[in-house]
Structure 1
Amino acid sequence: MSEPVELEALDLAALLCSRVCHDIISPVGAINNGLEVLDEENNEEMKAFAFDLIRKSARQASAKLQFARLAFGAAGSAGAEIDLGDAEKVARGWMDGEKAEFSWTAPPALMAKNRVKLLLNLVLLAVSAVPRGGHIKVVVDGAPSAPDFSLHCSGPNARIPAAFEKLVPGQLIDVHVDAHAVQPYYAGLLARACNMDVVAALEGTDVLITAKTRVLTD
């Protein structure tokens, strides 16, 4: 198998920024639309609708930014650890705006930030595995220093994301990486940095995404 090809640092930074902007532009645009309605309408019912839209969209924008801060951002200094409880909170905030139901089982623990970032990026891949909704079950096992992650994805037309074939392993030959495709590529970078192997497999009509810590041998 050929060696992974890595994007240039400037290209990776630009694409990740574009990804975050893509995720939050919709709720921010909805806030702007709600404000325009308030400026132009005197109807109380329409004003109530606008306030509801603004509140809902502001919550969604905040949730997406909090998620992005942990999933893509620095999230502390080098070597920092992140509370899995905080990771669950931002994951649930993100999933509030998605079609799939969501469950999370993990021990109370601090974990190295890159492992937590990987876990959150796998949540995004799990969402793409059930495009019509369903259920995503996240389970974290093992010691925080050598964890295993599993994400069970069930729903109509559940499928292994096409991104797994080349983007997660980092096989970028003849692959165009844009603001959407950079996320699975970034998940693969995190996995390799954490010494973890990410695999997606069909289990009947469901998809199982796993990330397992490699056992180092002498």
Structure 2
Amino acid sequence: MTDYTRIDLASLLCSRLCHDLLSPVGALSNGLELLSSEDDPEMRDRCVELLEQSARISTGKLKFFRLAYGSAGGFDYQIPSEEPAALIQALAEDNGRVELNWQVQSASLPKPAVKCLLNLSHIAIDALVRGGSLDIGAEQNGETTEIAIRAEGTRIAFDEEIGRALQGELPVDAITPRTAPAAMIHGLAAQHGGGIQYQLQDNALILGAIVREA
């Protein structure tokens, strides 16, 4: 990947991050405006509740994207498994209709595998537009980490362009903020000798990744 396309992909990821944070941060601004003009004690209490909820969602998303897109954890190659578990749980709770089943037994996972796991989980949660269940598993075998994610619900909304990006079939000039995370983890998995797969069924989306240590 050239320097130009690296910069371009980073810009698209920033656009995606800003898009996802716009709603909770905007709610904070609106809540503060309402609070400053509201005299009724009950309504003020309600405004404070909404502010607390928006602040929690904003903080959770920032923590999620910091590890999913950025370099959280510094130079540590291994990430404790409870860290991505907590981040995904918070994202599922924000959706409000997703039940998370965490089935990762390893105490820690390599950072590239964690990035793939987080981004695939985000894609899966976005696909559960009417809620459902999210099963997440990861297993280490020597220097290889295998990830399996199953999102099941009454309706699955999955953009085939994301699928193409996951498998490296989407041209660079066709990548958008919506498909940029998928393109990123395709490149990350390929860089570590692995790959990404997906299967779309009537009521389920199955995502898988293999990541090998460099």
Task: With the length of structure 2 as denominator, give the TM-score of the two structures.
Answer: 0.88
2:70 to 67, 70, 73: 73
Q: Match for residue 15 of structure 2?
A: 18
Count of matched residue positions in the alignment of Structure 1 and Structure 2:
211
In structure 2, the CA distance between the partners of 1:5 and 1:122, relative to structure 1 (3 Å rule), is: farther
Q: Which runs of 5+ in 1 are unaligned?
A: none
Is the alpha carbon distance of 1:178 and 1:202 closer, same or farther for their aligned partners in structure 2, counting shifts above 3 Å? closer
Match of 2:50 in 1: 53
Alpha-carbon RMSD across the aligned residues, in angstroms, is 2.3
Q: Contact 2:98–2:133 at 8 Å: present in 1 too? A: yes
Q: Deviations over 1:135-188 (max 9, x none)?
A: 111011233731211111110122554134421122233863222221221121
Map of 2:27 onto structure 1? 30
Report the residue type matching 1:93 in the other structure: A
**Which aligned pairs between 1:180-191 and structure 2 lie closer than 5 A?**
180-191=178-189
Structure 2 contact 167–197 (Cα < 8 Å) conserved: no
1:156-171 equivalence runs, <5 A: 156-158=154-156, 160-171=158-169
Written as runs of structure 1 = structure 2, the 5 A alignment for 1:63-212 is: 63-78=60-75, 80-98=77-95, 99-143=97-141, 145-158=143-156, 160-173=158-171, 176-202=174-200, 205-212=203-210
Partner Cα distance (1:175, 1:131) in 2: 28
For residues 90 and 125 of structure 1, what CA distance do their matches in structure 2 show? 14
Amino acid at match of 1:127: I
- What residue ranges of structure 2 are gaps of 5+ in the alignment? none
* Cα displacement (A) at 1:207: 2.2
Percent of residue pairs identical: 29
Q: Which one of 38, 42, 56 corresponds to residue 41 of structure 1?
A: 38
User: Which residue identity does 2:176 align to in structure 1?
Assistant: D
Looking at structure 1, the residues matched to 136 and 158 of structure 2 have their Cα atoms a distance apart, in angstroms, of: 16
> In the alignment, is the contact (CA less than 8 A) between 2:189 and 2:211 conserved in 1?
no
Deviations 1:63-97 (CA, angstroms, capped at 9, x unpaired): 00010111011123446221111111111111111
Tell me the CA shift for residue 129 of structure 1: 2.9
Per-residue deviation, 1:194: 2.7
Closer/same/farther in 2, CA of residues 15 and 130 from structure 1, 3 Å limit = same
CA 1:76–1:213: 2 relative to 1, 3 Å: closer
Amino acid at match of 1:86: E
- The 1:5–1:100 alpha-carbon spacing in structure 2 relative to 1, beyond 3 Å, is farther
- 2:206 & 2:125 partners in 1: Cα distance? 12
Q: 1:14 to 1:211 in 2, by over 3 A?
A: same
For residues 213 and 73 of structure 1, the distance between their equivalents in structure 2, rounded to whole angstroms, comes to 18
CA contact 2:27–2:51 (8 Å) conserved in 1 = yes
Task: For residue 5 of structure 1, report the CA deviation from its aligned partner.
Answer: 9.6
Q: Offset at 1:115?
A: 1.0
